Amino acid sequence: MAVGAQSEPEITPVLAPVSSRYINRELSRLDFDERVLAMAEDARLPLLERVRFLAIFSQNLDDFFQVRVAGLKEQVLAAVAVASPDGMSPLEQLKAIRTRVEDLIKRQANLYTREIVPTLAGSSISIIRAGDVSKKELNQLHVVFREQIFPVLTPLAVDPGHPFPYISHLSLNLAVMVRDPQRKEQRFARVKIPPVLPRFIPIVEGERYVPLEDVIALHVPLLFPGMDIVSHYPFRVTRDGDLDDVDSDAEDLLAAIQTELRRRRRHARVVRLEVDPHMSPEVLELLTRELELQPVDVYQIDGLLDMGALSALAQIDRPDLKEEPWTPTTQPRLRGLGAEVPDLFAVLRAGDVLAHHPYDSFATSVEAFIDHAATDPDVLAIKQTLYRTSGPASPIVRSLIRAAERGKQVVALVELKARGDEQANIGWARALEEANVHVVYGLLGLKTHAKVTLVVRREGGHIQHYLHVGTGNYNPSTARGYEDVSLLSADHELGADVTELFNLLTGYSRQTKYRKLLVAPTNLRAGITQLIEHQGVVGGRIVIKVNNLIDPDIIDALYTAGLAGAQVDLIVRSMCSLRPGVPGLSDRIRVRSIVGHFLEHSRVFAFGNGDQAEYYLGSSDLMPRNLDRRVEAVVPVMDTKLRRRLERIMDTLLADDVLAWELGPDGAWRKVATVNGLNSHKRFQEMALESAHGNGLGNRIAHA
């Protein structure tokens, strides 16, 4: 009998009301952003690492407003009465978000102004504001302005003959009030801070910088000759940036995406206005009116606007102020003897390979696998999903093009609605098409998020399949900073499953059953739910690592399993709507989050104890969109040694007491007290080095 059915009589009263079962997803996302901000506040970290986290926090807030806040505002405008699973209406969520964000940006501004800037100056990196430049430096900036900045600027006046200009998404601007000395009339003008120029202008490279908006502000009179400058203030606009509502049933999805991108450049609704706190009421009223905003949409930022630009300063060549750089290692099985390049197909026929990025090299595992397939004369076809990559310069894209040029059948499924990368994906999709790669755009109505590659090879008189299933994008840049896991395999049944998955993605198919693979939106939800239910007994064990856990049905299944006796550990990087540790509801459930130098990005699922435990990895988070509205792929890890390696990874994350946070029954996150000093990121580096330095032929033959 199913676990849910056995426990139902005692669960009905326990699981009500919903407000006690679920944490609001939007506020949980802001909790994650707060954990990122806490990293920037940690004085024990290297200084430029703190600057990097401050930039990430700002970029995260940008993403939150352009997607999550924009979505809630749409619901309010459409008078949507449906509450979130925790019972909050869209308007209630927006009010709660406003309160939380005001507190966070106040902390951000105080940290930047009172600690980061002075500490940078103490390390010979000074950020100089307009009022603090010396006369000599001002003369230097005059030259830079005239030669490099002035030719790029386009002041836009607002008067009866010039309507209020379009303010582009995430643009930084100067609002300038000028007075005609003859007519005594005041007029408004907007000067866009050009994003094509460096945000910080060096006075002394690597040592002294002036924000670009300050350099322009110092020279505003040159932009309006003959006019009196009354005032000028920086401001920044955030617009709705989500393309998920594009009609995926359009006859030509590529054309539909391009049309929507053009439309949104001009007509996307403004959802946030960031302003200098000294902005005059007159100018603020003009901006809110013209941008069709309410006072609650305006955020006063005391200090630098758009601190995401600090990421440029974090790249300054000062190793003494950064984390020690990490060079990924190559597992012994993926190394050849001496200068010999390994035959990766022979390696995979001998057994599956598991790679843990960025500790294990992405270049010598995933990239090498695809490159090997591109050059191997017996490979007939390569099929790959591409969600985000680094474009035509990517080694993987170059390998696909090279394979097509050699006459192989190459198929690339490009997801056009990868948020933020839509235009880039359109560009390199066309580059692939020009190289005779078959480019397809997936299933109507579904975003393809799966990370899957299939290689079809002729071996003697039969066809052999090789495959890769991973948790991260095929992007070498993010592979250096995102933590992910990859499975490379020659398993016959998995090969058949992935073949049928690609037939579903590229042709006409109603495939709903797979041998081993769990695929959304067909069998993944049911498969994960069943695996959870099977552990709903005394002695049951569940360990899940995901980026987000917000699906109510999965959460209720976890509650049920815990009530039935299972011990549940959840490692959730960002949003978690499950409330752990509540007596009579989730006593046996613990939730933690790891926030460190590398972005935790892998999704790993473990069910059971010891050698009997089942392990899965894949692309899917536990969210309704992933389980019901995306194509996702989750693969079982069958090899005993690889399952043990995943067990070590999960155990290390659960033992971390340096980077870990724990979620309490009250919905608050608290830093785990450091007792043993176990930093999981450092430990994974040690484990990678231990594996890479294995000696002897036995280590080359043993599974990775």
Question: How far apart are the C-alpha atoms of 532 and 566, rounded to whole Å?
Answer: 9
Question: How far apart are the C-alpha atoms of 614 and 475, rounded to whole Å?
Answer: 29
Q: Residue 430: pLDDT above 80?
A: no
Of the listed ranges 92-96, 174-178, 692-696, the least confidently predicted one is 692-696
Percentage of the residues of the chain whose pLDDT score is greater than 70: 88
Instruction: Specify if 360 maps to a domain.
Output: yes
Shared-domain flag, residues 206 and 125: yes
Output the pLDDT for position 246.
45
C-beta of residue 107 within 8 angstroms of C-beta of residue 301:
no
Give the closest residue to 613 by CA, choosing from 649, 635, 638, 589. 638
Other beta carbons within 10 Å of 395: 18
Shared-domain flag, residues 301 and 433: no
Query: Domain holding 346: CATH number?
Result: 3.30.870.10
Retrieve residue 481's tokens. 């900073």
Instruction: Specify if 420 maps to a domain.
Output: yes
Question: How far apart are the C-alpha atoms of 416 and 430, rounded to whole Å?
Answer: 12
Q: Which residue has the higher pLDDT, 9 or 649?
A: 649
Give the closest residue to 393 by CA, choosing from 326, 480, 478, 477. 477
Retrieve residue 414's tokens. 């490009």
C-beta of residue 216 within 8 angstroms of C-beta of residue 170:
no
Q: Residue 670: pLDDT above 90?
A: yes
Instruction: Specify if 534 maps to a domain.
Output: yes
Q: Which of 356, 449, 468, 597 is catalytic?
A: 449
Shared-domain flag, residues 151 and 234: yes
Instruction: Specify if 100 maps to a domain.
Output: yes
Shared-domain flag, residues 198 and 291: yes
Mean pLDDT of 380-389: 88
What is the pLDDT of the chain when averaged over all its residues?
Answer: 89
For residue 153, count CB atoms less than 10 angstroms from its CB and return exposed for 0-12, middle for 13-18, buried for 19 or more.
middle
C-beta of residue 454 within 8 angstroms of C-beta of residue 384:
yes
Report DSSP state, residue 472: S
Retrieve residue 14's tokens. 């326990």
Q: Residue 687: pLDDT above 70?
A: yes
Shared-domain flag, residues 532 and 457: no
Query: Domain holding 65: CATH number?
Result: 3.30.1840.10
Mean pLDDT of 298-307: 95
C-beta of residue 128 within 8 angstroms of C-beta of residue 210:
yes
Output the pLDDT for position 388.
72
pLDDT-derived band of residue 441, with 50, 70 and 90 as boundaries?
confident
Instruction: Out of 484, 506, 528, pick the residue that ends a domain.
Output: 506
The answer for 565, left when phi > 0, alpha when psi is -120 to 50, beta otherwise, is left
Q: Residue 337: pLDDT above 60?
A: no
Question: How far apart are the C-alpha atoms of 673 and 665, rounded to whole Å?
Answer: 18
Q: Residue 362: pLDDT above 90?
A: yes
Q: Which residue has the higher pLDDT, 658 or 704?
A: 658
Write the pLDDT tens digit of every residue in 89-147: 999 999 999 999 999 999 999 999 999 999 999 999 999 998 899 999 999 999 999 99
Shared-domain flag, residues 300 and 362: no
Whose tokens are 């971390």? That residue is: 656
Output the pLDDT for position 429.
75
Q: Residue 248: pLDDT above 70?
A: no
Q: Is 449 a residue of the active site?
A: yes
Number of separate domains in the chain: 3
Write the pLDDT tens digit of every residue in 144-167: 999 999 999 999 988 877 889 999
Instruction: Specify if 696 maps to a domain.
Output: no
Other beta carbons within 10 Å of 336: 13
Shared-domain flag, residues 534 and 501: no
Of the listed ranges 283-297, 329-343, 687-701, the least confidently predicted one is 687-701
Shared-domain flag, residues 316 and 390: no
Instruction: Specify if 692 maps to a domain.
Output: no
C-beta of residue 171 within 8 angstroms of C-beta of residue 195:
yes
Please state the pTM of the whole predicted model.
0.91
Of the listed ranges 111-125, 171-185, 329-343, the least confidently predicted one is 329-343
Shared-domain flag, residues 457 and 524: no
Output the pLDDT for position 401.
92
Domain membership of residue 50 as a residue range = 46-248+269-321
Q: Residue 1: pLDDT above 60?
A: no
Instruction: Out of 478, 506, 534, pick the residue that ends a domain.
Output: 506
Shared-domain flag, residues 484 and 556: no
Instruction: Specify if 257 maps to a domain.
Output: no
Residue 282: phi and psi, rounded to 5, are: -65, -50
Retrieve residue 39's tokens. 């990293």
pLDDT-derived band of residue 469, with 50, 70 and 90 as boundaries?
very high
Mean pLDDT of 571-592: 97
Mean pLDDT of 471-493: 95
Q: Which residue has the higher pLDDT, 246 or 554?
A: 554
Other beta carbons within 10 Å of 17: 9
Of the ranges 267-271, 301-305, 357-361, the best mean pLDDT one: 357-361
Beta partners for residue 619, in sequence order: none
Q: Residue 523: pLDDT above 90?
A: yes
Shared-domain flag, residues 493 and 522: no
Output the pLDDT for position 624.
96
For residue 678, count CB atoms less than 10 angstroms from its CB and return exposed for 0-12, middle for 13-18, buried for 19 or more.
middle
Q: Residue 60: pLDDT above 70?
A: yes
Instruction: Specify if 253 maps to a domain.
Output: no
Question: How far apart are the C-alpha atoms of 279 and 59, rounded to whole Å?
Answer: 24
Give the chain's count of helices (H) and strands (E): 25, 27
Shared-domain flag, residues 184 and 54: yes
